[in-house]
Structure 1
Amino acid sequence: MSGETTLDLEAYLARIGYDGPLAPTLGTLKGLHYAHALSIPFENIDVLAKRPILLDLASLQKKLVTEKRGGYCFEVNALFAAVLKELGFDVTTLIGRVRWMSPEEVDTARSHMLMRVELPEGPYLADVGFGGLTMTGPIRFDMDVEQQTPHEPRRLLTHEDGFELQAKIAGDWTPIYRFTMEPHRRTDYEVASWYTSTHPSSIFVQFLIAGLPRDGQWLSLFNRDFKIRGLDGKAETRVLDSADEIAEVLDTWFGISLSEEDKALAIEPYLDQWRAMSAG
């Protein structure tokens, strides 16, 4: 159809620094998954700046590839799914309820995008967009089996809500999210993304969140707290005091270059609130 955006695969591969095989195989999936996760950060700068989150392919490529920014799950996973489909992978996009750091009695909405990839070896779960715990490799849809990734182990369990993904952090299994196998379309994610990026109770409209894995470590930024965590769970934390310090950390560690407008809209209006949280 005329007017449709085509994927610029060459630009995407250069963005993530991947020059390996492109055949739709398990090896290719693992290679792309790792390269994408370590190259395109999770971040919500545009949400804090009250800019619309656009999920069409042209907007995703402009932001994540050309402008070398990051995004949250609906953005980074939508781009990754488009790449996999372009390469001939059989991909079904799904949606889940986040359980990370949520008490069992607290209900959570369907607000996280993930995907199922069909391979000759069986179906795999792929997800390059979960903040400071983004998976760095896909895992098989095998239940109650510890599976290694380039970072921490993961496992899938059956649950009354469908399936639950868990991560093993410092020796303990922790719920990450729950999901079903019902396929979802871009319109479904646009509705969920609109709620996530505009509702007053959403963490994304209140707090600065950035995450990026690197070899053997996790980088995370929550408001003013910049943390480097090892796979053993031990972490170093630095508290940032100003918009300039936050911008410097985002640039140096996450590869996100903020403009003066970004700082004025997405950082400075929230600093007093974040300082009060730290003090209280």
Structure 2
Amino acid sequence: MNLHNYLQRISFLQPTAVSAETLIALHRAHVLRVPFENLDVIAKQPIIPDQECFYKKIVENRRGGICYELNGLFKALLDSFGFESYFISCNVFVPAIGSYGADFGHIAIIAAVKGEQYLVDVGFGDAFIEPLKLSWDVPQYQYGVYYRLSRLEKGEVLLEKSEDGIQYRQMFKFSLRPHALHEFAEMCRFHQESPLAPFNKQLLCTRPTPDGRITLTSKSLIVSGSSGREESVVKSCAEFDALLAQYFDMRLQPLSV
């Protein structure tokens, strides 16, 4: 992995000492510039848990990816800086069934800096822009959203979010047990191939902005921010490709939208 090229990819030009400030800045830069996208899933291009493949796609080809790719590569970046970190398995809350998905359904990272632990996640799709301290039952506010971590039974932790700091909704739960990247292979395959998986139905590319979010699908473009929310219909493959280049700086071979 070429660290200089990776940092250029996320426009990171700040000092590189191992510190909480560096961790926060790296996380923010990555989330704001590297989108969550499932274009390879829809195109049936296999995704395997391999950091070299992730690097080629995200850095060299200036793409985004799904959680296994985004967090899988971000840990390699943390390793290059000298951060202590490890992968964790997360169970995503599924509102349609009122319960949690399977183990290894989402990958995230725990990083430690000077005795403090942080939940790191640059690959959830619609989550926090900066890492969260592992502090229990204390709301952590950033970019217009409150996040809260609570202890559950059997050593698990619940992550919730709220727009008003009063009504919270569940995002995912996790344990603090370390895992290796290869342990996520089966669920990575599930998200690509299973009819029950959420991300193999239509094209999706999304990233946050400091005051909102940009989301492009096969059907629509949604741009939200402090000035409001605008939604427009995507009428053709050519328009999808043009919007992908305009809002995500991604240029691909023509896709079937």
TM over 0.5, shorter chain: yes
Query: How many angstroms apart in 2 are the aligned matches of 1:107 and 1:168?
Result: 19
Offset, 1:224? 1.0
Contact 1:96 1:180 in 2 (8 A): yes
Task: Give 1:174-193 correspondences, 5 Å limit.
Answer: 174-193=169-188
SS at match of 2:168: strand
Question: 1:37-84 CA distances to partner (integer Å, 9 max, x unpaired)?
Answer: 111110000000001103322211110001000001000101111110
Report which stretch shifted further, 73-82 or 206-215.
206-215
Q: Are the equivalent residues in 2 in contact too, given 1:37–1:134 (CA < 8 A)?
A: no
Is 2:155 the counterpart of 1:147?
A: no
When residues 201 and 103 of structure 1 are mapped into structure 2, their CA distance, relative to the original with a 3 A threshold, is closer
Deviates more, 1:199-208 or 1:24-33: 199-208
State whether residues 156 and 166 of structure 1, in contact with CA within 8 Å, keep that contact through their aligned partners in structure 2.
yes
Alpha-carbon distance in 2 for matches of 1:242, 1:41: 21
Gap regions ≥5 residues in structure 2: none
1:37 aligns with 2:31: yes
| Aligned-residue offset at 1:121 | 4.8
State the alpha-carbon separation in 1 of the partners of residues 56 and 139 from structure 2: 37
Correspondence for 1:117: 111
1:215 is displaced (CA, Å) by: 2.0
3-state SS of 2:215 partner: strand
Is 1:136 aligned to residue 168 of structure 2? no
* Contact 2:12 2:26 (8 Å CA) reproduced: yes
Q: Which of the pair is proportionally richer in helix?
A: 1
Name 2:86's counterpart in structure 1: 92
CA deviation map 1:130-159 (0-9, x unaligned): 11x132101110111111234522111223
Work out the percentage of aligned pairs sharing the same amino acid. Answer: 30
Q: TM-score, normalised by structure 1?
A: 0.85
Q: Which residue of 2 aligns with 1:69?
A: 63
RMSD of aligned C-alpha atoms? 1.9
Q: Aligned residue for 2:44?
A: 50
The residue aligned with 1:79 is: 73
1:228/1:98 CA distance change after superposition, 3 Å: same
Question: Match for 2:170: what amino acid?
Answer: P
1:102 to 95, 100, 104: 95
Query: 5+ residue gaps in structure 1?
Result: 1-6, 268-280
State the TM-score, normalized to the length of structure 2.
0.92
How far apart are residue 241 of structure 1 and its match? 2.0
**8 Å CA contact retained: 1:55, 1:75:** yes
